[in-house]
């Protein structure tokens, strides 16, 4: 009986990518079996409360996926969103994540740079992807370019200009898409000369 439950937990870990004891409990399985499987080396601990199969390789960094799993109300933004959309070769040392201006800032043992956004600026341009069966919320490429200019003092103008160039070069979307988000972010006047130079 215990063996069947452990097998079911390993299958759940395979399906979910990253497993929490809470996920196991929701399936009606005893959470203590997670710890037993960990002690037996059949599950690997990523961080407190998160486990994966030992041979599981992720297409995104473990820490980014861990952040998406733990902070479900957050959205990958700025440098992390640029990396997600292959619009930069930089590998950011921190996870850049937007949260709503009034949302609680979770205490997690991860290198996260939280960015506060509000209203339409926070809610617009969110894409939902599944990466290794893990839900990932990230801003669209066009929204990310506009966000870079909005938060240029945090990331530097050079990254903003590179993002705009990469967006155009890779033909990810239209300049109208960027104009829309520039208007929402109230950075039209800031972005106009750079965007006109790209046309």
pLDDT score recorded for residue 1: 55
Cα–Cα distance, 20 to 128 (Å, whole number): 21
Other CB atoms within 10 Å distance of the CB of residue 45: 12
| Spatial distance between the Cα atoms of 107 and 198, rounded to a whole number of angstroms | 41
- Give the bridge partners for 19, in sequence order: 51
Cβ within 8 Å of residue 173, ≥6 positions away: 140, 141, 142, 167
- Are 79 and 177 part of one and the same domain? yes
Number of domains in the chain: 2
Q: Which of 55, 30, 51, 36 is nearest to 134 (CA)?
A: 51
The two tokens of residue 34 are 């997670």
Per-residue pLDDT of the chain (199 residues), as tens digits, is: 566 888 888 888 888 777 888 888 888 888 888 888 888 888 888 767 778 788 776 556 677 888 888 888 999 999 999 999 988 877 778 899 999 998 888 888 788 999 999 999 999 999 999 887 788 999 999 999 999 999 999 999 999 999 999 998 888 888 899 999 999 999 999 999 988 877 6
The pLDDT score that the predictor gives to residue 146 is: 97
Q: Which domain holds residue 44?
A: 2-52
pLDDT score, position 60: 63
Same-domain pairing of 193 and 120? yes
- 184 and 116 together in one domain: yes
Kindly tell me the burial class for residue 77, based on how many C-beta atoms sit within 10 Å of its own C-beta (0-12, 13-18, 19 or more).
buried
* Helix (H) / strand (E) containing 131: strand 126-131
Q: Is 174 found in the same domain as 80?
A: yes
**Do residues 91 and 166 share a domain?**
yes
Residue pLDDT, tens place only, 101-123: 988 888 887 889 999 999 999 99
What is the token pair recorded at 102? 């009034």
**38 CB neighbour count, 10 Å cutoff:** 13
Greatest alpha-carbon span in the chain? 68
CA distances from 195 to 124, 150, 189 (A): 21, 14, 10
From the CB of residue 146, how many other CB atoms can be counted at a distance below 10 Å? Answer: 31
**Within a domain: 57:** no
Domain holding 28: CATH number? 1.10.10
Q: What interhelical angle do 175-184 and 157-169 show, nearest 10?
A: 150
Same domain for 114 and 186, yes or no, is yes
Our CA angle for 36, 42, 44, nearest 5°, is: 90
Residues, the chain: 199
């Amino acid at each position: 009986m215990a063996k069947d439950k452990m097998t079911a937990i390993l299958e759940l870990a395979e399906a979910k990518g990253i497993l929490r004891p809470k996920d196991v409990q929701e399936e009606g399985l005893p959470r203590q079996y997670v710890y037993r499987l960990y002690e037996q080396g059949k599950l690997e601990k990523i961080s407190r409360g998160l486990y994966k199969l030992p041979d599981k390789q992720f297409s995104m960094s473990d820490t980014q996926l861990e952040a998406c799993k733990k902070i479900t109300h957050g959205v990958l933004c700025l440098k992390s969103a640029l990396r997600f959309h292959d619009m930069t070769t930089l590998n950011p040392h921190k996870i850049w994540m937007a949260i709503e201006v009034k949302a609680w800032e979770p205490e997690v043992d991860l290198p996260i740079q939280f960015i506060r956004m509000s209203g339409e600026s926070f809610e617009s341009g969110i894409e939902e992807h599944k990466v290794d069966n893990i839900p990932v919320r990230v801003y669209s490429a066009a929204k990310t370019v506009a966000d870079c200019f909005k938060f240029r003092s945090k990331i530097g103008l050079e990254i903003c200009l590179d993002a705009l160039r990469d967006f155009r070069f890779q033909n990810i979307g239209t300049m109208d898409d960027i104009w829309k988000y520039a208007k929402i972010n109230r950075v039209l006047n800031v972005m106009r000369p750079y965007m006109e130079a790209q046309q």
